[in-house]
Amino acid sequence: MVVLHAAEPARIVVDVDKPGHAVPATLYGIFFEEINHAGEGGLYAEMVLNRDFEMTTLPKGAKWAGNLLRTADDWQERKWFGNELWGWQFIADGGARGSIRLDDREPLNGRNPHSLRLTVREPGTLAGVANGGFWGMNFVAGRWYDLTFQARTGGADRLDITVALESANGRERYANAVVRDVGGAWKEYHVSLQAKAGDRCGRLALTVNRAGTVWFDVVSLFPRDMFLNRPNGLRPDIAQALADLKPAFVRFPGGAIAGGLNLDNRIQWKNSVGPIAQRKGTMNLWGYWTSNGLGFHEYLQFCEDIGAAALWVCNPGFSDNYRHAEFAPADQVKDFVQEALDALEYALGPADSKWGAQRVANGHPAPFPLRYVEIGNEASSKVYGTNYVQFAEAIHAKYPSLTLISNQRLKDVPVAMVDDHKYGNPASFFSAHDRYDNADRTGPKIYVGEYACSREVGEGNLTAALAEAAYLLGLERNSDVVVMSSYAPLLCHENDVAWMSNMLRFDNTRVVRRSSYHVQRMLAANRPDVVLPTRVEPDAAPKDCALFALAGLDQKSNEIVLKIVNRSNALRTVAIQLDGCRSLAKNARVITLHHDDPTAENSLGDPEVIVPHDTSVAISGSEFQHPLPANSLTVLRIFQKDR
């Protein structure tokens, strides 16, 4: 037991000459779910809110009940929008008259049955529509923005449309261009605009030059500057923050969202590939419209781009348990299995397979790095086992090298890996640092697919991060059985905090890395190749303990890597004893994350209250004293000269 009561002097003893099990390279990954506008208005760089005008589309069988959406199984979710053209407004000046409305006549296609109809009776000096984006559009002076929109008129009628990037009230114009002769049947138009000035809260305007009627659909504006310049791409600052974690894997699309509010509302990957005008959006389980522009292909591309394996969660033939699951009849589960097989063929299949050919057509000839499939999320029902077997047999038959992950341990069914989730307060995390010490080594491997210290910790303070660090040291110590982990949720827009603690928070211009982010980055970057037996003396029970420590060996660099959490509110000087080590370098590298106030938090306004500091300290030999700041995570990297 590697713990110590706060008042006692401490010694950390490492048996350097008794290396234990290997620490898998898969241990630290990330979990993405469309929650808190993580993707829509966040990671996904689309700037137009409600670009497809489908926001009022309900999951099958659901109804609006005042400000709520109610499913047939009586689950209620918030209704996030205020009117049927949410995000859009009619704009007029100089005596212009006209209106906008949602229209379902002559739709663009079956997946986009609604469009916006703009009728201008009197053009005045300006008449048209504007979209303010997700809490304002961020324009940066000198940068380019690429606009595409679909438009039609009632017949042969043609209009000129002026498109502009402007201030929220329209008084300042940063860029504009005229698209001439818009009209006739549905057609896609493209315009590029360079902002001559910056505005963090601007809007897009489309105005007409005379009286008439025009229909718009899939109006899309992307900054030219996106992560790795991928089209239909990602906001570079958020994507880079994720890439900086160097995650071994990315789990997507969730979370509860994989199940959905009901079966119709589950994530349906086929709606999320191909040209954006052909995609079908979803009123997602977290109560807001998702265009599915950030879809199956983009998730896989992101994994590949950041060198991570993809972990895809499929629907198991029923919707989310917690939200009064709707079950597919037993004879229809095969359709859900086929849906999963088709997804895998898209990701991994040869170019001459049906779905592999689609991947090629969408610009990716080679297979994607999809390595894991989790069948469902947090499913606890009895049906799960029966469905799991159907999915597992079919997937294994075609893709024997994939690792399948189960939500439960199943009686009489061999399972390679199970997903354990943990949310709680700091006390529960500190005491769970030994949770896997006695885990069954003969059973399935464990993936801690969601964890976060999210209770009694403000919006995610230093105490939360240290509690997670102590817990993660426990996972690493047991990484012969716990082979993967991912914090959840990952991302949160400042204006839609559906879940309090999240790893990164952002608004339209800024991203803040919470202290939990720094903990994961430090632990992942300092993942050793093998663990070393580590004990804190004197020993104590987990409850009320102050120190948690774990050492390992980085065999490539020949370094002893020692990680220590000091959760007490006081500086602690500890004796570090490295038994059986070779000759050591005179200096060790020390990376420390700490703050005197354990309730301190990073925020958008003050993003660097808690950041790691990298220094070096002199060490006197295999036994030395080291001061651990109050409320800290410390990583010591000590080079062994002759091994």
Active site residues: 378
Question: Nearest-5° angle of CA 429, CA 454, CA 34?
Answer: 125
Q: Which two tokens stand for residue 308?
A: 């991570």
Phi, psi of 444 (to 5 degrees): -65, 155
Q: Give the rounded distance of the alpha carbon of 70 from its chain centre.
A: 26
Q: Which lies closer to ligand AHR via its Cβ, residue 304 or residue 420?
A: 420
Q: CA dihedral in degrees (100, 104, 106, 109; nearest 10)?
A: 110
Nearest to 133 by CA among 27, 259, 49, 38: 49
Enumerate residues 6+ apart whose C-beta is below 8 A from 325: 73, 259, 318, 319, 381
The torsion defined by the Cα of 607, 610, 614 and 616, in degrees rounded to 10, comes to 150
Strands 530-532 and 547-554: antiparallel
The two tokens of residue 326 are 């709707």
DSSP classification of residue 216: E
Q: How far is the CB of 69 from ligand AHR (least distance, A)?
A: 17
CB 191 within 8 A of CB 122: no
Q: What pairs with residue 173 in β-bridges?
A: 166
Contact indicator for 283, 69 with CB cutoff of 8 Å: yes
Q: In angstroms, rounded to a whole number, what is the distance separating the alpha carbons of residues 396 and 402?
A: 7
Residue (of 460, 475, 568) closest to 517 by Cα position: 460
Show the tokens assigned to 374.
């989790």
CB atoms inside a 10 Å sphere around CB 113 = 17
Nearer to ligand AHR, 338 or 380 (CB): 380
Tell the smallest beta-carbon distance from residue 33 to ligand AHR (Å): 5
> Could you write out the three-class secondary structure of 475-514?
HHHCCCCEEEEEECCCEEECCCCCCCCCCEEECCCCEEEC
Residues that bind ligand AHR (CB under 6 A): 33, 35, 254-256, 377-378, 450, 488-489, 499
Q: What is the CA radius of gyration of the chain?
A: 27
For residue 105, give every residue at least 6 positions away whose Cβ sits within 8 Å of its Cβ, in sequence order, or none.
Answer: none
For residues 151 and 216, the answer to whether their CB atoms sit within 8 Å is yes
SS3 562: strand
User: Do 198 and 141 meet the contact criterion of CB atoms below 8 Å apart?
Assistant: yes
State the minimum distance, in angstroms, from the CB of residue 207 to ligand AHR. 41
β-partners of residue 290 are: 282
The pairing of beta strand 249-252 with beta strand 28-31: parallel
The two tokens of residue 348 are 């991994």
Residue 488, C-beta contacts closer than 8 angstroms, at least 6 positions apart? 31, 33, 255, 421, 449, 450, 451, 452
Among 104, 290, 120, 292, smallest CA distance to 206 is for 120
